[in-house]
Each structure stands twice: as C-alpha cells, then as structure tokens.
Amino acid sequence: MNAQLLLLILLGFSVNTLAQSMIPSGFEAWPVPIEKRIFPGSFSRDAANRTIKWVGCRNEFVSAQLASRNDKTSRLGYTLTALRGSRGDEIPRDAIKVRFGAYLPVDETGQYTADPLLESTTQTLAANLVQPIWITLHIPKLMKADKYHGTLNLSADGRSLEFALEVEVLEATLPDPPNYSFYLNLWQDPNGVARAHKVQLWSEDHWKLLSLYAENLAGHGEKSIMTSIVHDPWNSQTGYEFPTMVEWRYPGEWKTGQASAFQWDFTLFDRYVNTMMSAGVKAKIDMYAMIKGPGPTADASIRYFDTRAKTYRTEVLKAGDLKWREAWTAFLPALKAHLLEKGWWRIAYLGFDEKPKEIMDPLFEFVSQVAPDFKLVMSGGHAREGAGHEVVVYWDELAGEKWNKEFASMVKRMREKQEIVSFYTACEPRFPNLFLYSSLREARMLPWIAWKYNLSGYTRWAVNAFPDDVWKQPNFKWHSGDMYFQYPGEKGPLDGMRWELLRQGIQDYEALVIAHEMASFWGRADLLKMLDGAVEMATILDSCRDIPLVQEARNIVNQVIRQSGSPDEMGKKTR
C-alpha cells in the first residue's frame, strides 16, 4: 500500500470518527433562546445547563425553549411542579403549558424547520434528531412581585433530566390581550379554515371552528375583524376564493339604471362580526372591497344572485364604470344604515389593498360624494390622511428621504388625533419578516419597530390562509409561511413559534408603555434614555458583530420597571 493511499484511509477514518463523536450518546437536553430556531441537527456548547429563567409582568405570557435528543428512538415525556415564592405564594402548575415543535419542509432553505406547536403530553423522540420543546408560563394577574421556583422533569427511555424553573414577577401588570394598546391587524380567512379542517363553508362545524380561531386571535392581541362585502375581493390570490359575507341579490339580470332593485343579505356578515366580538376582537371592522386587490388592477366585478333564475351572475366591471357607480351609490347608504342599526358604524372602515394614486384619487372623490361619512383604510399604495381614515405604511417607506419629507409629519399628526397608522410587511421584504425561514427574532422585533417610528402597530395580509396541505407543503406561491401563523389542529387552531414571538414583541411594547409612563412620572431622564437605547438595540438590522437578541433590550425595560417602583405609588393600581 503506497503512502498516499494510506494517508487517505487514515484521514477518512479520522473524519468518520470525528463525525460520530460529535453526536453525543445518551439522552440530553439544553435551553435555547426563544428567538433562535432549533433544527434537527442543532447542538449546544453548554448542554449541561439545567436552568430556565423568566422575568415578566403580571398577566404576561413568557416562553422558554429546550432542545432534546436521544441516541435511540424513544418516547419523550415531562412532569412539572408548581412555582413557589419566598413568601409561600404559588403559581399553579396549570399556568405552565408544554408543547412540542413540529418540523415542516421549507423549500427556500431545504431545511426541516420547527414552527407549529403540538399539544400533547408525550412526543416521539427520533434517534439522534433534535426535538424542540416549548414552555409557556402565563403569570397570573394577581401574583405578588417576587421570585418563584419550581422544576421541569424530562424523561425518555427510562432516563430523566431535571431543569430548575425560576420566574421573577415584576411590580407591573399588563392588560388582557384584547386590551393591549398595540394595534394588531391580521387579516382572517374563513374559507382557509374550512378547507384546512375539511368542513363545509358556513356550516355549524365551521362556525364552531371560527369561534376557536377568534379566541386564539384575541388571545394574541388581534384588533380588527376582516369582512368581505363582495365576492372574492382578492381574486383568489391564495389559490382559492374568499367568499362574500354580504350576498347581493337582484330580481333578474341587472340592467343599467336599475341598481335600486338590489337587496343585500347581511346574515353572514353579522354572524362573523359577532363571533369575533364575542371572543374579544372588537376594535375595528374592515370591509373589502369596492375594487379588487392588491395592486394596480381596476377590476371591480360584482357577483350577485339572480333571484328569478336562481343562479349567480358576475357583472364584469372596472372601478368608475357607470354600473359600478350605480351599484355603490345604492349599496353604501344601505351598508351605513345597517352598521348604524347594529351599533358598528363608529368602528367600520372601507378597505383598499395596495392601490395606486391614479385609482385611489377618483375613488376618494366618489366616496366623498355618495357616502362622505365613511372612514377608509389604505393598506399600502396611495394613502390619504384625514376624516378619520387609517393609513398602512409600506415597510420600505420607514426611514429614508420619503419618511423624513412626508410620512414622519403625517404620522405625528395622525397619532395626535388618535387615528390609526400602522406599517406592514407581506411577501417582501425578505428581512425582517415572518416567513418560516425567518429568524424568530424578526417576529419579536416588529412591534419594537412600530414603537421606534411612533406607529399604532402592525398589519399583515393573512393569518390563517392555508395552502392545500400545510404540513407537507407549507408554500403556495408566496414565501413559506407567508399566509398563516396559526395552524389547523385536530380540534381547532394550534399556535406557532412565530405567532408566540409576535405576541411576545407586543407584550414588550406594552411593558415599554408602562416603563415610559413610570419613568416620565418620576422625572427620570436617565431611565427614559435607557428606554431609547433599548429600542435602538431591539431594532438593529445589521452589524459586523452578533446582532443582540430582542430579549437583551427587554432586559433593559425590566430594569427600568424595577427602578421606577410600583405603579400603585402613581395612584394607578391597574395598568
């Protein structure tokens, strides 16, 4: 055997031996920051760490993440204890929820990526593949400020690992999620829910599911109710139709000059609004759309039910056409009357999605003539300030020359009048965003960006628009995960990691509100400067060094709350 061949054999043997030695034997688990993703081949340089620490306000949901692995296929289980404080107070065990991350195949990276959170008491632990474990603690609203301790025990294949749990409860209380000051507007898709759960659209089974989805949305701070007032207002951009909640009915075939014969059935509209409101989502109703979206299309076709022929007809129209003007001149007063009757007029907005100036200016003029009291919401595209309208700013319009010349002053004026102005991301930018391949830090960062630019909150075009089989192919034609944060479980919605991190960012925002009020009340310019620094840290987008986790910025907010004393001292017992 020549020397070269021998060297290659030895090198191959050494590399193979090294590769095998990198996979530890036995059962192990270690903490991972919640802003970092776990992958099947993840590792830790501190696998001996057995401590999970939280810091949070009363009524806050705080999460932690563990990675676990075994060298043989086994069943992973857990047990928990209550958390006990130094004065004998106790956070009950049922305030802690343990869930298991499920992997999805993400085409953009070629990686199996964990995001859905499965609710079960045990989970199969495949040999040498890392399993994410997600632990969420809801700090009870009436808990005393203190440090509380307990344990989490993981078990697999007769072996166990014990983790110490510690939570520091701060002297501040967050609002209930439906009462967050942060404005969260995620567009719901009832048909997406029906398709994913394989139930008939608008059946009683469907309505039961919609109630569960509504409760989940309210529990994450959702503020807006997405409704459709025409059939398929987005021209099936998700791969399937978005059905109307208002049925247009006409006795025969619609003729020019006879739009007054239209009648409208608001039954589905009313039930959907009531379903969302019953769950706690009641700040705003969005109504789409007088013109199809998104983008520069002028398509404004209207589908109606011919009550004589007992069939649906579609009138192909463009915005501004004579019959279009006649139809909306008839419908908008009827819609206003219905909203007034239901007590919803004050919170109702006509919605437009990414429409350019050449389309929106004539639409503004038309609405001001035939229904001048309607508030409008412009999601991107050409916006118009005033009359209580809502404006949604593109991500790429934040900062830069246009921001300084136009948007910064507009935002200031609107916020002073308590009008809604938010920002949004959709299929772009690639970063920061909420795709399945996005870092989890990005989800938590978005509410901090809203704070930085003095915005009301964040808007996104989809929360439960599911592709045909989200578990096998999470990508439709947009980026993987672009259309949903919730997941269809066996009995209703399942949370995802991105969804949990977005709520954590919203809770950070609420903690910022409290810290800023307290520091301002006490005249602590030093603490206000710390909060400004925290916002800058949380919203760093690029760096030659490691970008800090948003948690590091939240640590500063927590420090300010500690140094500001109790809100009770300000005469405010609840925040």
Tokens of 148: 């509380």
pLDDT digits (tens, 9 = 90+) for 3-60: 554 444 444 444 454 445 566 779 999 999 999 999 999 999 999 999 999 999 999 9
Give 437-472 as a DSSP string: TS-HHHHHHHHHHHHHTT-SEEEES-SB---TTTTT
Is there a domain that residue 313 lies in?
no
Provide the percentage of residues in the chain whose pLDDT is more than 70: 94
The CA-atom distances, in angstroms, between 105 and each of 289, 377, 437 are: 35, 36, 10
CATH number at residue 128: 2.60.40.10
pLDDT digits (tens, 9 = 90+) for 302-340: 999 999 999 999 999 999 999 999 999 999 999 999 999
Is there a domain that residue 183 lies in?
no
pLDDT digits (tens, 9 = 90+) for 453-500: 999 999 999 999 999 999 999 999 899 999 999 999 999 999 999 999
Is there a domain that residue 29 lies in?
yes
HEC per residue, 522-569: CCCHHHHHHHHHHHHHHCCCCCCCCCCCHHHHHHHHHHHHHHCCCHHH
CA distance 233 to 290: 8
Domain count, the chain: 1
Is there a domain that residue 82 lies in?
yes
Q: Judge contact between 66 and 132, C-beta under 8 A.
A: yes
CA distance 445 to 545: 18
Is there a domain that residue 83 lies in?
yes
Residues 6+ positions from 485 with CB-CB distance below 8 Å:
186, 434, 463, 464, 496, 498, 499, 502
Which structural domain, as residue segments, surrounds residue 127?
A: 23-171
pTM of the model: 0.94
The CA-atom distances, in angstroms, between 49 and each of 29, 44, 53, 161, 519 are: 9, 10, 11, 11, 36
Considering just the CA atoms, what is the radius of gyration of the chain in Å?
26
Is there a domain that residue 131 lies in?
yes
Is there a domain that residue 166 lies in?
yes
User: SS3 for 94?
Assistant: helix
Per-residue pLDDT at 568 exceeds 80? no
CA distance 452 to 442: 15
Q: Which amino acid is at 70?
A: N
pLDDT at 378: 87
pLDDT digits (tens, 9 = 90+) for 419-442: 999 999 999 999 999 999 999 999
CA distance 514 to 218: 21
CA distance 458 to 449: 9
Residues 6+ positions from 508 with CB-CB distance below 8 Å:
444, 447, 448, 538, 550, 553, 554, 557
Q: Which candidate, 137, 161, 152, 167, places its Cα nearest to that of 47?
A: 161
